[in-house]
Amino acid sequence: MPSTASRPPGPTNLPLIGNTFIARSQPLAVLTRWAQRYGDIIHYQFFGNPIYILSHPQDVEQVLLAKSSSFIKGMTARANPEIFGNGLLTSDGEFWRRQRRLANPAFHRESILRYAEITLEEAAGLLNRWQPGQIRDVHQDMMDVTLRVVLRSLFGTELGSHAHTIARSLDTIMRSAAGLQAILSFLHVPTPARHRYFQAVHQLDKIVYELIALGRQRLAQSSSSPQKDLLAMFLLARDDDGASMTDQQLRDEVITLLLAGHETTALNLSWAWYLLAENPAAETQLHAELHQLLGARFPEPADLPRLHYTDHVLREALRLYPPAWRIWRTTTEPFTAANYLLPPGSNLVLCQWLTHRDPRWFPDPLRFAPDRWQEKSVASLPRFAYFPFGGGPRVCIGAGFAMMEATLLLAAVAQRFRLRLVPGQKIEPLASITLRPKHGIRVQLLPL
C-alpha cells in the first residue's frame, strides 16, 4: 500500500528557493549524500517545484518501460527550447512516434556499418596526428574525432571551418548548463554567458540550415543512387501518409544528433582512457585481447562481435561515468514509487549516477572492473540497474551507433599507445547536461 506520509523523505527546504543552490553547487556529491541518508526516493524543492529522485531499478523500470505512456519529458528537456527544439530528445506523444519512425532507418545495422567505415578513417587520421611522447588533452581529442565522425555521417562531406564553429558553439552551450549558470538560465537572467549561449545557438542554426538546403539541392540533382548520409536519409524519409520532415524538424533532429551523437561517445571514451590509465591490470587485459584478435592489423567492422573485453571496458566506463547521468520525466497521472503515491504533474529524476554506483547491484561499486560485464554476471543484475542509454520505447536511438564508434576508436588507439596521466592535475566530473571532465584529461602518449 502507498505510504500515507505527506511526502517522501528529503532535505529541509528553504523558503521559496528550496534546495536549488545546494543541489546545483556540487550535484554529484550532494545526490550521493542524500541517497545514503534518505534511500531510494528523495524529495527536494527547486524554486517551488517539487522534485522526486528515484534510483531503485524497479521504479526506473516502471517509468521507462512498464508505465512509459503515463510520462512525458521532464522540465529540463524544455529548459532550453532554443537549442533542442522539438526533436526526438524533447518531443512527446504522436509527434515523437512519427519522428522516431522516420528516423529509425538511419540507424539500422547496414547504416551503422557505413558509419563504421567513417569511424575507422577518422581513427587513422587521429593516430597520424599523434606522436609518441606528446602530452595531449585526450578529452579534447576524443571530442574532435567523434565530431568529425558524426559530421561526416550526418552530411557525407568534410565541413572545413564549419567543424570548428560547431565545436566551439557546442562547448558554449554545454557550459551554460552547469552550476550557477544553469540556474540563471532557468530564470532567464540576461547574463553575459546567456548572451554567448544565444550567439552559439544562432551560429549552429545558420550552419545547419545551410547544410539542409545543400542536402535538398544534392538530392534534386542526383539522377542515380541517392546519398547515404544521415541527412539524406532524413530528407528521403516518408511517413505512412507520405509526409516528410520540414526544415524545422530536420534542424531539430540534426542538432539533437550533433549534441547526443558526438558528446556522449566522446565522454564515454574520455572516461575510459582515464579509468584505464588508473587501472594498469585492466589496460594490460585490453591490450592482450587486441593483440590476440588483431595482431598488427587495424580493426575492422567485422571485429566488433569479437572485441568482448573492449566492449566491457566501455560498459564499465558508462557505469561509473554515464554521459547522460540523469533522466527527467513528468507524470500525467498518479504514480506509486517506493510506496509513495505521487500526484500527476510530479517531476521525477531517474539518476544513473546513483543507481550505477549502488552496492546492492554492483559490489565494490567504485572499483573499475570490466569483468562485471561477463555474461554470467550480467544475468544476475536486476533489470534497469544499468541504463546508460535510457530504456523502454524511448531508449536512445543511436545506442548502437555510439557503441560501434567507441569500440572501434578504443581498439584502434589502444593498439598503438598507452595513455599515462600527467601528474598534478585534478580530474573531476562536471555535471552539466552531460558528465564532462571539468578540466580535461591530460595524458602522455607512450608507444606500445
- The DSSP annotation for 188-254 comes to T---HHHHHHHHHHHHHHHHHHHHHHHHHHHHHH--SSPP-SHHHHHHH---TTS----HHHHHHHH
Lowest mean pLDDT among 100-104, 341-345, 379-383, 414-418: 100-104
Contacts of 86 (CB under 8 A, 6+ apart): 95, 249, 252
Q: What is the model's pLDDT at position 23?
A: 59
% residues pLDDT > 70 (the chain): 91
Q: What is the model's pLDDT at position 401?
A: 92
Place of cell 546492492: 360
Closest CA relative to residue 425, chosen from 408, 440, 445, 411: 440
Contacts of 170 (CB under 8 A, 6+ apart): 147, 200, 204, 258, 259, 262, 263
Closest CA relative to residue 374, chosen from 292, 312, 315, 317: 312
Contacts of 1 (CB under 8 A, 6+ apart): 339
Q: What is the model's pLDDT at position 73?
A: 82
What domains can you pick out in the chain, each with its CATH number? 20-447 (1.10.630.10)
* Stated pTM of the model: 0.92
Mean model confidence pLDDT for the chain: 88
- Please give the grid coordinates belonging to residue 125: 587520421
pLDDT tens per residue, range 349-372:
999 999 999 999 999 999 999 999
Kindly give the interhelix angle for 138-155 and 263-278, rounded to the nearest 10 degrees: 150
pLDDT tens per residue, range 209-265:
988 888 888 888 775 555 678 888 888 888 777 878 888 988 988 888 887 778 899
- On the question of pLDDT at 52 being above 60, the answer is yes
